Amino acid sequence: MSALSICLFGRFNVRRDEQVLTGFEAHKVQELCAHLLLHRDRPHPREELATLLWGDSPSVQAKKQLRQTLWQLQSALGQRAESADSRVLVVLPEWVSVNTKADVWLDVALFDHALAHARGIAGRDLDREAVGELRNAADLYRGDFLEGCYQDWCLFERERLQNAYLSVLDKLMDYCEAHDECESGLAYGEAILRYDRARERTHQRLMYLRFRAGDRAGALRQYERCAAALQEELGVRPGRRTVALCEQIRADQLDGWAAEGPPMRAPSEPITASLSEAAARLRQLRAILEQLELQLEQGIESVDLALRSRRHTPRP
């Protein structure tokens, strides 16, 4: 049979010869398939899968649901019409794994490969091959991992892959700065802000790229966007580097700013402004820590109460 094409970014999608396959409509079928493909480098004990996907159900019921969902997944993949060597899944009595030799196009696999190729290399130092792979990786990220799933394991993987995506965009933006590709760099920066509108470093780079592209007014408006986002999201003002960059742009005298950051000049704001910002950040962190401490104490009390209740419950 011809190769499968499976997309885990955005809405779950499986195609064969450009035709969408049916049988994947159930959320648990999608979750099981996505989890196995995401962790395709190792076999999975059935009990582990049952606990992961049906942890709220009794063990016997969870294993039964796994068997049913696994049967649905195999049928949807068309495994019963394929030879053992070409099947996507290897299903054994106690284990389930992905056949790494199966002919499958998987967006997450290509995304991971691009990241591995560029790992540890600054964006400005990437070769053409690595840059091409990262551009493809950015295009593959058509949405967050397995949209519509809100299981704990999925939320964790979604955040991890989203952070990896932002890292890809950062590297590409760095490359564009170093190679005078202002238009592409601006597009990557705007994509970053769609996920984190208060990322000050990205606002700085967008200010620089807009000025480089001949749009000084756009660069100054970018500063205003940065100031508004920082105030609304974090309750702080732009840092000294951002203010210094804005002043250089306003004076039409930007020189020497590169990916490592704008040149440090004498700050136009009093030092007390920076101290106020630091104090605001520390107060915010203290509030977060207090909330976490409260949640921790409540969790301990709940567990202690459950243990005491179990000790005093008469056994049959």
What is the span of the domain harbouring residue 84? 4-102
pTM check: above 0.85: no
Judgement on whether residues 183 and 272 belong to the same structural domain of the protein:
yes
At 302 the pLDDT is 65
178 and 288 together in one domain? no
d(CA 66, CA 280): 50
Residues whose CB is less than 8 angstroms from the CB of residue 313 and which lie 6 or more positions away in sequence, other chains included: none
Residues 313 and 249 in one domain: no
Look up residue 87 and give its two tokens. Answer: 């099947």
Q: Are residues 163 and 222 in the same domain?
A: yes
Same domain? For 111 and 198 the reply is yes
User: Is the same domain home to 178 and 255?
Assistant: yes
Q: Which of 274, 223, 224, 242 is nearest to 282 (CA)?
A: 274
Tokens of 185: 């760099």
Give the domain CATH number at 78: 1.10.10.10
pLDDT the model gives residue 300 = 73
Are 171 and 45 in a shared domain? no
Q: Are residues 227 and 127 in the same domain?
A: yes
What is the CATH classification number for the domain harbouring 114?
A: 1.25.40.10
pLDDT at res. 3: 81
Q: What is the pLDDT of residue 246?
A: 95
Gap between the Cα atoms of 243 and 227, Å rounded: 10
With H, G, I as helix, E, B as strand and everything else as coil, classify residue 148. Answer: coil
Tokens at residue 58, please? 């009794």
Given a contact cutoff of 8 angstroms between Cβ atoms, the answer to whether 208 and 257 are in contact is: yes
Number of domains the chain contains: 3
Q: Please tell me whether residues 261 and 115 are part of one structural domain.
A: yes
* 118, 98: one domain: no
pLDDT reported for residue 11:
93
Q: Specify the pLDDT at position 266.
A: 35
pLDDT tens for the 316 residues of the chain, in order: 468 999 999 999 999 988 999 999 999 999 999 999 999 999 999 999 999 999 999 999 999 999 999 999 999 998 766 777 788 999 999 999 999 889 899 999 999 999 998 999 899 999 999 999 999 999 999 999 999 999 999 999 999 999 999 999 999 999 999 999 999 999 999 999 999 999 999 999 999 999 999 999 999 999 999 999 999 999 999 999 999 999 999 999 876 565 444 443 433 444 444 565 566 667 666 666 766 676 676 667 666 666 666 655 555 5
Q: Last residue of some domain: 84, 102, 120?
A: 102
Residues 201 and 237 grouped into a single domain:
yes
State whether residue 89 is helix, strand or coil. strand
What pLDDT, on the 0 to 100 scale, is given for residue 263?
A: 40
What pLDDT sits at residue 86?
81
Q: Are residues 167 and 201 in the same domain?
A: yes
Residue that is last in its domain, among 102, 131, 156: 102
Closest CA to 102 of 91, 116, 94: 91
